[in-house]
Amino acid sequence: MDAERILILGGGGREHALAWRLSQDRGVREVLCAPGNAGTAELGRNLDLSPTDVPAVCAAARHERVDLVVVGPEAPLVAGVVEALAAEGIAAFGPDAAGARLEGSKVFAKELMARHGIPTAAFRVFDDAAAAAAYIRAADRPLVVKADGLAAGKGVVVAANADEAVAAIDLIMRRRAFGAAGDRVVVEELLRGQEVSYHVVSDGRDYVALAPAQDHKRIHDGDRGPNTGGMGAYSPPPIVDSDVERKILREVVEPTLAGMAADGNPFRGALFVGLMIDEGRPQVLEYNVRFGDPECQTLVTRWAGDFAPLLVGSAHGGLAGLSPAWAAPCSLCVVLAAGGYPADYDKGLRIEGLEDAARVPGATVFHAGTARADGGIVTAGGRVLSVTAVGDTVDAAAERAYRAADLVRFDGKHCRRDIGWRARTP
């Protein structure tokens, strides 16, 4: 089936990247974004509505007569937007609420992995803070504490010792820092190795494997400072050779999809597996049920040909025979963040140099936290822009991405200078 009119839910760098890719498809006539940002407005129309307002999303999709809704962030998926659209006869890319539990509930995901023999860290589940703290004190070793529900990427604490882990229990379960997401916690063993992102797109029966990527979460070079939503990414990471990739598919992806189907929840949409790779062995850190941000930016810039058939095939159950084609061997994304991010930061700061950056060969500037104001473009979020470039090598992609990033100017601009360091020439 064709998708001439597509509505993308979300307003970050991932959604601009999807809009940019889809707007180049031969069969796509119009791309709408809700709420979008200053970059998506240049590709189509932005709609002033929240992605988590399910009735408003359904009404807009009906009114705009869209052929496909592409759900960017996880919250609308957990809220059931896909099945609400299906009830209106509107196709959507993404899992229903039952499938979205893979991301929406850490307990659900860990129990699925235990049931189906998927490699992951040993874990315990607690709904009582005192019992969790007692277990941690008795264990007296580094542990990871995770809030069960969605916590905007902030509900995971990697604790170096028992004191830090008990403090995490207090923050999540007693002080309710993440609300109902902290009703239960998962306490798990700390995994060692390199973290890798791996995406597949599934239609509930078949899947298409995309390329591996590696994200950089910490705010400062050398993986120092607090965690963020992601300061950059590149694809592909050298640690995922053909043997490791086969293990990821055979030991993780296929058992996950088969397990979901066997449990009565066939998974459709983007399955993004966060993995730890140690001595060639993949173990699952977490599942996400949508494209990563900024991993999505690295994947779509490498993509060759039309992208909509992948998303339509997932939504309608027609992925058999589809396979990815890559136009560029490598890509690298550098996030330009507001000063002070991930803590407090200013908004409304004028951004200059965007046109100059876009003229760098092989580079594309994706907007994230931006808005139009006073005849120009201003900052409107913590992660402001995702400057992405392709190249024959990671070194080449990095040179182009940083050359473009350095042409962008706004007060307080911050970026890491070491994105892709594991694959770049010293």
**Last residue of some domain: 285, 316, 347?**
316
Q: Is the pLDDT of residue 229 over 70?
A: yes
Q: Are residues 290 and 344 in the same domain?
A: no
101 Cβ neighbours under 8 A, 6+ residues apart: 78, 108, 109, 265
Q: What is the pLDDT of residue 112?
A: 97
Report the run of H or E that residue 7 belongs to, with start and end.
strand 5-10
Q: What is the pLDDT of residue 1?
A: 67
Q: Are residues 297 and 356 in the same domain?
A: no
| 359 — pLDDT class (breaks 50, 70, 90) | very high
CATH of the domain at 336: 3.90.600.10
CATH of the domain at 175: 3.30.1490.20
Q: What is the pLDDT of residue 16?
A: 98
> Do the Cβ atoms of 161 and 145 come closer than 8 Å?
no
Q: Nearest Cα to 384, choosing from 3, 13, 63, 85?
A: 13
Cα–Cα separations (whole angstroms), residue 242 to 245, 295, 399: 5, 20, 26
Q: Is the pLDDT of residue 277 over 70?
A: yes
226 Cβ neighbours under 8 A, 6+ residues apart: 218, 219, 342, 343
Mean pLDDT (the chain) is: 96
Q: What is the pLDDT of residues 84-135, one digit of tens each?
A: 999 999 999 999 999 999 999 999 999 999 999 999 999 999 999 999 999 9
Q: Is the pLDDT of residue 227 over 90?
A: no
Q: Are residues 153 and 203 in the same domain?
A: no
Instruction: Tell me the HSE value of 407 on the side-chain side, using a 13 A CA sphere.
Output: 17
Q: What is the pLDDT of residues 157-199, one digit of tens each?
A: 999 999 999 999 999 999 999 999 999 999 999 999 999 999 9
DSSP β-bridge partners for residue 147: 185
Q: Are residues 151 and 201 in the same domain?
A: no
Q: pTM score, two decimals? A: 0.96
CATH of the domain at 275: 3.30.470.20
Q: Are residues 312 and 395 in the same domain?
A: no
- Identify the domain containing residue 72 by its residue range: 5-95
Q: Is residue 15 assigned to a domain?
A: yes
Q: What is the pLDDT of residues 198-213, one digit of tens each?
A: 999 999 999 999 999 9
Q: Is residue 170 assigned to a domain?
A: yes
DSSP β-bridge partners for residue 372: 377
> Do the Cβ atoms of 422 and 194 come closer than 8 Å?
yes
Q: Are residues 247 and 285 in the same domain?
A: yes
Q: Are residues 307 and 219 in the same domain?
A: yes
Q: Are residues 304 and 214 in the same domain?
A: yes
